[in-house]
Every structure is written in structure tokens, then in C-alpha cells.
Amino acid sequence: MTRYLLRRAPSALVVLWLASVLIFLVIRAIPGDAAAALAGPDASPEAIAAIRHDLGLDLPVLTQYLRWLGGLFSGDLGRSYLVGGDIADLVAEGFSNTLTLTLAALVVAVLVALLLGPIWAATTNRWVDRALTGFHTAAVALPPFVTGVVLIIVFGVFFRLLPTGGVPPKGMFDRLDITAQYLVLPAVCLALPVAGVLTGFLAETLRSELRQDYVTTVRAAGVKRREVVVRHAMRGALPVAITTLGLQTGALLGGAVLVESIFSWPGLGLLIEQGITRRDYPVVQVLLMLSVTVFVLVQLLTDVVHAYLDPRVRLGAQA
């Protein structure tokens, strides 16, 4: 397994480096001048130039890039133009909130898929099939800003069961039951599209596993239908489902930006949204780099788990 990781690591590093170049260039290609935006509409050209010098924006692009890259390695992520604080501090706070939200959403999505996928694959009941088809279409098609608003209206406004936004006043780890109340709506909202995609993929892979000859073998040997689906076919379907899950991390990260602003969840999404609208480029740059890193790591992890789950990859093909 370690050898497998070592074999994959170089390509992951190349991807990260290419991403850093791309992010750096794209940020600078966006129209508008950070120094001008910061100085305000009435500032004199001299004042803007002073700010530009202050921020290091008058240096050659290559120097700026190398400074930034060096900072990433040494842990100095730079300072926010606007808030003025250390970006590392800003990110650390938002990161833990976003991580809590995405992990909760991930758990919800995986549980839903593990429950509904096998049922959908194995059902012979027309109504169950229709209901699950409906769920799948709705979950995949409805964007978070629709489901989020619906969830807020139903559970927050109409039934008044759950808070409609914000985080627990005394922090995430003070009272877990309260945290759960704050977490459930945004987590479900964020999880829904991923749960839909994952359920669909798992059901489809299971269906194709159920058409394999080995399924006939165990059925002919008297193994119960439920066992066939849950124990025999599932193991073959999991690698595909896990690859899909890995790719869906991108959707989770993207969705978090929307969901956090709907539910006023002070995470990286909120930070990134503010960073872009106010042209706080150092912050945006770091956050994009962070997302890419998380995504690449998740892909690496998925590959390793995939290899582990398939003995033909793990043990090599030998006759």
C-alpha cells in the first residue's frame, strides 16, 4: 500500500504545482485593480501607487509568484488586504467550521446512498422504484439555494423546529445536541445532491453486479436474495461508488460556498465569497489552493481505497 502511495505521489505533486500556477495567473487576469479597490474611488494615483508598493504588486509577476509559493511552504500565507489579519488565522477558523459541515454532509450522503442504493437496485416493486427514481431526480436536479430555502421555510419558519442559520453560540464542541440542531439543515442541504448522485451510481453498479454469473452461482446455491445484494454484490460495487464519492468531494466543496451563505455558516465558503466580491486576492488565492489540495488528497485516498478493495489490483494478476 505504501508503495502504491509512493507511485501516485509524484503525479499528485505535479497537479498541485500546476494548480498553483493557474490560480496565481487567473487571479491576476481578473479585471479590476486590487490597490484601486482598496484605496477607494476618490484616492489619488499616488495613494494607489503607494498601496500597490505596500502590497508588493509592483514587483515582477515571477517574483510575486515565487514569494507566494515560498510563503505556502513556510506556512506564511500572507495578509488579508481588507481585514489586515494573518490569512492563516482567518483560514484556520473557517476551515474547522467548513470541515464540520462537509463531514456531516458526507456522512448523511453516504448513509442515504447505502440505504437507498441497494433497495433501488433490488426492488421488484414498481412503486418503490418510482419513488426512488423521483427522489434521485429531485436530489440531483434541485440546487442548494432552492432546497436550502425550502428547508428553512419548512423546519425553521413553519414548524419552528430548528435554527435557520448561524453556528452554536458557545462553539461547536460545547453541547453536541445543540451543535447537531444547528448542523442538520445545512448538512442535509449540502448532502442532498451528493446523496442523489451516489445513490444512483451505487444502484446502477449493483444492478450490473447482479447480472454477473457469480450471482447466479450463489442464488443457485440457495443464498437469500438480501444476502446476495448486501454481502456478495456490494463488495464488487463499492470501488465504483467510492471513486464516485471522491469525485463528489468537488461538488461538496463547491456546494459549501452556497450553503454557508444561505445558512450564514461562518466557514471558508463565506470567506471566499467575501474575498472575491471585495477583491481580497491573497485570501482567495490561498482558499483556492486549499480546495485543490483537499481535492487531490481525497483522490489519492480514493485510489488507495479502491486498490485495497479490489484484490486483483492489490495482489496483482497471477494465474
Binding site for another protein (CB under 8 A): 124, 212-214, 216-225, 227, 231-232, 235-236, 309-312, 315, 317-319
Taking alpha carbons only, the member of 160, 155, 185, 182 closest to residue 170 is 182
Closest approach, Cβ 67 to another protein, in A, equals 47
Task: Report, in this order, helix, strand and coil percent for the chain, each rounded to 5.
Answer: 80, 0, 20
The residue among 192 and 210 lying less far from another protein, judged by its C-beta, is: 210
- For residues 234 and 205, what is the distance between their CA atoms, to the nearest angstrom? 9
Closest approach, Cβ 302 to another protein, in A, equals 17
The residue among 157 and 315 lying less far from another protein, judged by its C-beta, is: 315
Closest approach, Cβ 224 to another protein, in A, equals 7
Closest approach, Cβ 176 to another protein, in A, equals 36
Closest approach, Cβ 122 to another protein, in A, equals 13
The residue among 219 and 278 lying less far from another protein, judged by its C-beta, is: 219
Closest approach, Cβ 207 to another protein, in A, equals 14
Angle between helix 87-122 and 268-277 (nearest 10): 120
Closest approach, Cβ 75 to another protein, in A, equals 43
The residue among 130 and 231 lying less far from another protein, judged by its C-beta, is: 231
Closest approach, Cβ 236 to another protein, in A, equals 5
Taking alpha carbons only, the member of 31, 91, 120, 45 closest to residue 272 is 91
The residue among 1 and 315 lying less far from another protein, judged by its C-beta, is: 315
For residue 37, how far is the Cα from the chain centroid?
Answer: 31
The single-letter code of the amino acid at 78 is G
Centre a 10 Å sphere on the Cβ of residue 93 and count the other Cβ atoms it contains.
13
Taking alpha carbons only, the member of 213, 217, 245, 215 closest to residue 229 is 215
Closest approach, Cβ 206 to another protein, in A, equals 13
User: CA distances (Å), 312 to each of 4, 279, 317, in order?
Assistant: 14, 50, 6
Centre a 10 Å sphere on the Cβ of residue 47 and count the other Cβ atoms it contains.
15
The residue among 273 and 310 lying less far from another protein, judged by its C-beta, is: 310
The residue among 63 and 216 lying less far from another protein, judged by its C-beta, is: 216
The residue among 7 and 225 lying less far from another protein, judged by its C-beta, is: 225
DSSP string for 143-187:
-HHHHHHHHIIIIIIIS--S--SS--TT-TTT-HHHHHHHHHHHH
Angle between helix 87-122 and 176-210 (nearest 10): 40
Q: Residue 43 — left, alpha, or beta (φ > 0 → left; ψ -120 to 50 → alpha)? A: beta
The residue among 170 and 224 lying less far from another protein, judged by its C-beta, is: 224
